[in-house]
Amino acid sequence: METSGLASWKIERNCLVLGLWIGDGTSIESSNIVTTDGLSEVKRIQVIRQLIGLNASDIRQSPSQIETKSGRVYMFSEPR
């Protein structure tokens, strides 16, 4: 980490976001799959992303997800 020139806390936070995306994300968009009753999980995702300068949406559902507990939390670099 020292040779990269980045502070270790920045690397750790970036790894957390990458792990979230790999664990529950998709390869076609920057989002994580969540359940609509998992609000604590959504808050953790939002906090971790904010720590590295990204924003995270609230839970969004597509029309096909309305009758389910499934949704997505999107990440982006500009406020929306």
pLDDT of residue 58: 86
Neighbours of 54 (CB within 10 A): 15
Domain boundaries, the chain: 7-76
pLDDT of residue 20: 67
Reported in sequence order, the residue ranges of 10-69 that DSSP labels E, i.e. its strands, are 31-35, 55-56
pLDDT exceeds cutoff 80 at 66: yes
Give me 56's structure tokens. Answer: 């995270």
Q: Residue 69 in contact with residue 23, Cβ under 8 Å?
A: no
Q: Residue 71 in contact with residue 59, Cβ under 8 Å?
A: yes
Residue whose C-alpha is closest to residue 25's, from 74, 79, 67 = 74
What's the pTM? 0.59
Strand partners, 60: 72
Q: Would you place residue 3 in the very low, low, confident or very high pLDDT band (cuts 50, 70, 90)?
A: low
CATH class of this structure's domain 7-76? alpha beta
pLDDT exceeds cutoff 60 at 22: yes
